[in-house]
Structure 1
Amino acid sequence: MTSLLIKFIGLILFITGIYFLGQNIIFTTGYYSYFYRGLPATGSVLALMSGILSLVFFRPQTGNLGWILLGIGIVLVFLSGGVILKPTSLWNFLVAFTALAVGYQLLSRGRINF
């Protein structure tokens, strides 16, 4: 029972960390007058979808291809100009990153290593 409670607390901390880090990230879309200006945005969506599908459904067959596609998709999101990073305080970043790291350790190991 206690290991289940520890995993649940880890999950809550992990989601809280993602929430606080994600508050300062804004994803935007835009209208492009020329067809080639929207290619990085389209490529990022296709790469992210392909990466997630290959990791979830075809993990034994594709190996690390899913992670590579996710990385390419993230880079293309930033290249398309569809991500705006708002300024954040150091305290907010510290709390969010600590919650993320502690939640991950509780989920994976069941304890916190200092």
Structure 2
Amino acid sequence: MGRLLIKLIGLILVLTGLYFFTQNIIFVSSYYSIFSRSLPATVSVLAIMAGAFTLVFFYREASSLGWILLGIGIVLVFLSGGVIFRSTSLWNLLVAFAALGVGYKLFNQGRINF
């Protein structure tokens, strides 16, 4: 029971860290013609969908292809200009890193080494 509680606390801390990171990231989309600026955005969505589909349904056969497609999709999201980073305080950054680090260690190892 104690080990399950530690893993649950770790998962809660990881989700808290992700919340603090993602509250200052804005994903935007808008309508453009197919030959202008939306082409990288469209390709990024298709690459992420294909990579996720490959990893879920064909993991043994083509896992490296799935990861490559996911990587290409993530890079194209940033190149398309669809991600806006708002300024954040140092306190939010510290809380996010601490919660992610401690939560990850608790979730994977069940303890924190100092």
Q: Same fold judged by TM-score > 0.5?
A: yes
What is the 5 A alignment of 1:25-40?
Answer: 25-33=25-33, 35-40=35-40
Instruction: Please give the secondary structure, in 1, of the residue aligned with 2:37.
Output: helix
What is the 5 A alignment of 1:1-114?
Answer: 1-33=1-33, 35-114=35-114
Bigger mean CA offset, 103-112 vs 19-28 = 103-112
Consecutive aligned runs of 4 or more in structure 1 exceeding 6 Å deviation: none
Instruction: Please give the secondary structure, in 2, of the residue aligned with 1:71.
Output: helix
What is the deviation of 1:34?
A: 5.1
- Whole-Å separation in 1 of the counterparts to 2:55 and 2:105: 22
Q: Residue deviations 1:51-77, cap 9 Å, x none?
A: 222222222111322222221111100
Bigger mean CA offset, 84-93 vs 97-106 = 97-106
| TM-score of the superposed pair, with normalisation by structure 2 | 0.91
CA RMSD of aligned residues (A): 1.4
Aligned length: 114
AA aligned to 1:80 is S
Unaligned runs of 5+ in 1: none
- Whole-Å separation in 1 of the counterparts to 2:51 and 2:33: 29
What is the deviation of 1:29?
A: 0.5
- Whole-Å separation in 2 of the counterparts to 1:102 and 1:59: 30
